[in-house]
A and B are shown apart, each in its own frame.
Chain A
C-alpha cells in the first residue's frame, strides 16, 4: 500500500512538454494538439502510453483523449474550470497517486484557439445565468468580460491605467529573447497606452495573444520516479490549493480582490510549509494585464496597492527579487484559450534549468492559475529538490 503524501515532494512531474510548435497551426485539430503534447511529454519522461493508467484533461472529455492515445485508464479526471483546470488536475492526480488510485497520470491540454480547427461553438448557454444576465449586455468575449472589474481595482488603490501598461512592458522584456514567443518587439508604457482601445481601459497589448498549441505533464510517485532515466530532471509538488467563487464576473463579492486567489494560494503555501520569502519564481496567469496586479496582492507577495510599483521598479524582471512570467506570459508568449498548462510548463523548465530565458538558482516556483474569468483558481508550489 502507498504511504506517499500528495504534498511535500512525494509526487513528481517526470515528463513535461509543449507541442512541437505553438502559434498558428491550421494543420492540427484541437484533439491532435492534445495527442502531440502527450506523446512529447511521455517521450520526455522516457515512458510510453502503455505506462499510463490515469488521464486528466479539460476541453475534450478525458475518455476522448485516453481513447485517442490508446490508453486504458483506471482513473479519469475531467475537471473543467477553464484555464486553471490543469493546476487542479496536477493537484487531483497527486492525491490519486498518493491514495493508490493511479500510478502514472497524464495531464493534457491542446487548443486550436487561433485557427479553430475541430472546435465547437462559442458562447454560454443563453438559458444559463451567464447567458441571461451577462451575455445580453454584450459581455460575451473574454476581453469584454474578464476586464470589467479592473477599473475598480485601480480606483481603490489610486492607480491609473498606466499600471496595466507597466505589466505589459515588464513581461515583454522576458519575451524579447524567446523565439517561441508571439510578441517580441520591445515596447514602452507610452506606446502601450497610445494603442487604440479594445475594451477601454484595455488596449491591444494589455490583452493576451490568441494562439494554437498544447502541453502535457506526466506525474508519478517520487519513489518510482527515482528509477527513471530522467530522475535528475524530476520536479516535485510541494503544495497546492484550489477554490472557486462565482461563474459570473458581476457576482464576485469584491471586484477589487478575488477570494479564490486568496484561498487557493494560502492553502498552497500552507501545504508546502513555506512562506513567500521561500518563493524565487512566480508564474501569474495573465490573460489580461490586470491579473498579475490582483495576484501579487491577493497572493500576499506585496501589500495592498503595492503591485504597480513592485513591477515598475523591476522586481519581477531579470535580476529582480521575484522573476515573474519568465516566458513572456499570456500577454507575450502564447495563449491558446487555456493558458494554465503553459504556466506550469515554464515553471518546470525553470526548475530543471532548461528555460529559454533561464533564471539562475531557482529552487521553488509558485504557479497561480485563474479560470473562467474570475470564477476559479488553482495554485501549485513546485520545487526541484525533495524537502
Chain B
C-alpha cells in the first residue's frame, strides 16, 4: 500500500534549464576531436591531414570568437569573463552550503575557457607561419616570412603545444572535481545542452534562442577566413 503512495506513476519532472546552444557544443566537441587529430598527425608526420585539421580549427576559432559577441547569453564573453573579485568570491563560496551552480561558465571556469581559446589561437597562429628545418613542410602563410622566422615559429608551435596540454589537463581535472566532489555533472549538459534546473542560477528556461541568420553569418565568416588563408598566398 505504501508503495503505491510513494511511487506515483509520474513524479513532476524537474524542469530542464537550457545552458549551451548547439553551436557552442558542436565547436567544443569538434575542437576535442581536431586537437587530438592534430596531435596524432603531427606525431605520425601526416602533415597533409595536420594542415587541414589545423585550418579547420582556425575556422572554428573564428566562429567561436564571433559567437562570443553574437551568440546566446552563455556564449558571450561579456557575460562570463569576470574580474578577480568575482573569481575569488566564487571560489570562496565553492564549499559553502548555499553554493549554487552558475548559469553557463562560472567565473573560475571562464579563466580556463579564455586561456584555452588564447592558447589555441596562438597555436594555430604559429602553425600558419611555421616551416620545418628542411623547408619541406610549411603552413599556408609561411611564404610570407623568412626561413629563420618560419623555423622558429615551427619550433615554438611544437613547444607551445605543451602549454595547451597543461590547460586541457586542468580543464579535465576541474570537470572531475565537480563530478566527484561537488556531484555536478558538467559533461552531460555539454552533450545535451540542458541540465536539471535545481539550485542553479539564471532563468529557469535557460538561454533564449538566437536567430539563424546570426549563426549563418558566423559560419560564412569562418569559411571566408579559412578560404582567404589558403587562397591569398597562391596569388602572390
Q: Do A and B come from one complex?
A: no
